[in-house]
Amino acid sequence: MPMNYPIVIGDISFESLQLFLAENFEGYQKIILCDENTEEASLMRIDFEGVPDLIGAETMTVPPGEESKSFAIVEQLVEAMLESGLTRKTLILNLGGGMVGDLGGFLASIYKRGIPFIQIPTSLLAMVDASVGSKTAINVGGIKNQAGVFSDPQGVFIYPGFLETLPERELKSGYAEMLKHALISDAEYWKTLTSRDWGQNEDWEALIRQSVDIKSAIVESDPLEKGPRKALNFGHTFGHALETLSHAAEKPLLHGEAIAFGIMLEAGLSQMHCGLSAQEYGEICEFISEHFGYLNPPKFAFESWVQIMRADKKNSSDKINFTLLTGIGAHEINREFEEAELQTVIDEFNAIDFSSEN
């Protein structure tokens, strides 16, 4: 099933955005949703003279961070929209990273039973992953993405110039999702990503396009995540658990950082049970340790990991479901494990002293 919305990538996105608004949303009220960081760093980068349809658009701003992906924030936003008299003829433009895209997409999907929205990602992670695929969700009980819907945006407009506003840590967080795309489907792309000099100026547009193409192809084959789309969850079963635990311990990791370590953990599981070679496993671990090990992720007891992973959306039995690698560039979905079978890989991860390696 092809994507039902355009994905525009490049420095002329604002011109394309204006044309899209003029052709499809004349007479609509426009709302720009952002967080405090993107309001300060990214909103000013929009050339409103080049996008006259956004002149006078109201801005709704939420605090940055995963805590804003909550029912409480959604309720506040709905109440504000009702007080402003916004009807179903309202368009929400989500300007921000993955949190804003998730929150704004979920908000749009439920306001008056659904209004249109557009994704304008400003982080690398949102550009290559979160803005593409029609998933919207909020967190519940401290666990990520437990309430949400599949809801298509009207369009995705990716402007790599926003990356100039990001610190290196945020760029690396997005890079982890690009590594995931390569590991599950494209060994040559993995070589490209792991051979580049991080300090060099990059043609981000070309790299973003490659990741978007990989994700789009997978999503088109399985829009509602019944089968092949589960490939995109590689690194996320352990990764989401680590992200949740790190926030609870007040030593928060960014999403992509947690996913990087989730990739390492699930690569270990892949070597034990799915045919990933020791050489390729070592290659993956070496790259993750070199580029993310400086974070020295907090260590948690086995039962703490399992408690979070029990809630993973892929699970359909009392076992925990994983997507694993059969090799770099190849994967296998629906590998299920008893909780006790996971202890070895978690114990090995907890035994790594990242501080001594960096």
**Is 135 considered catalytic here?**
yes
pLDDT reported for residue 2 = 54
**Is 225 considered catalytic here?**
yes
Which residue out of 69, 209, 215, 247 is catalytically annotated?
A: 215
**Is 215 considered catalytic here?**
yes
**Is 240 considered catalytic here?**
yes
Which residue out of 30, 236, 247, 331 is catalytically annotated?
A: 236
Which residue out of 66, 177, 243, 257 is catalytically annotated?
A: 177
**Is 255 considered catalytic here?**
yes
Beta strand segments in 205-341, E: 320-327, 330-337
**Is 40 considered catalytic here?**
no
Which residue out of 30, 37, 69, 135 is catalytically annotated?
A: 135
The dihedral of CA 19, 25, 31, 33: what is its sign? negative
Q: What are phi and psi of 140, to 5 degrees?
A: -135, 130
Phi-psi region of 95 (alpha: psi -120 to 50; beta: other; left: phi over 0): beta
Which residue out of 181, 230, 240, 247 is catalytically annotated?
A: 240
Q: What is the pLDDT of residues 300-311, one digit of tens each?
A: 999 999 999 998
Which residue out of 94, 139, 145, 233 is catalytically annotated?
A: 233
**Is 286 considered catalytic here?**
no
Distance CA 110, CA 28 (A): 18
Q: Enter the tokens of residue 181.
A: 């795309």
Distance CA 182, CA 172 (A): 15
pLDDT reported for residue 113 = 95
Distance CA 168, CA 39 (A): 19
pLDDT reported for residue 358 = 57
Among 180, 184, 177, smallest CA distance to 326 is for 184
pLDDT reported for residue 314 = 81
**Is 229 considered catalytic here?**
yes
By three-state DSSP, how is residue 161 classified?
helix
Instruction: Note if the pTM is more than 0.85.
Output: yes
Torsion angle, alpha carbons of 256, 257, 259, 260, to 10: 120
Which residue out of 30, 69, 181, 229 is catalytically annotated?
A: 229
Amino acid letter, residue 149? V
Query: How many residues appear in the chain?
Result: 358
pLDDT in 10s for each residue of the chain, 358 residues: 457 899 999 977 788 999 999 999 999 999 999 999 999 989 988 888 889 999 999 999 999 999 999 999 999 999 999 999 999 999 999 999 999 999 999 999 999 999 999 999 999 999 999 999 889 999 998 888 899 999 999 999 999 999 988 999 999 999 999 999 999 999 999 999 999 876 555 689 999 999 999 999 999 999 888 999 999 999 999 999 999 999 999 999 999 999 999 999 999 999 999 999 999 999 999 999 999 999 999 999 999 999 999 988 788 778 999 999 999 999 999 999 999 999 999 999 999 998 766 5
Q: What is the pLDDT of residues 40-88, one digit of tens each?
A: 989 988 888 889 999 999 999 999 999 999 999 999 999 999 999 999 9
Q: Enter the tokens of residue 76.
A: 């506040």
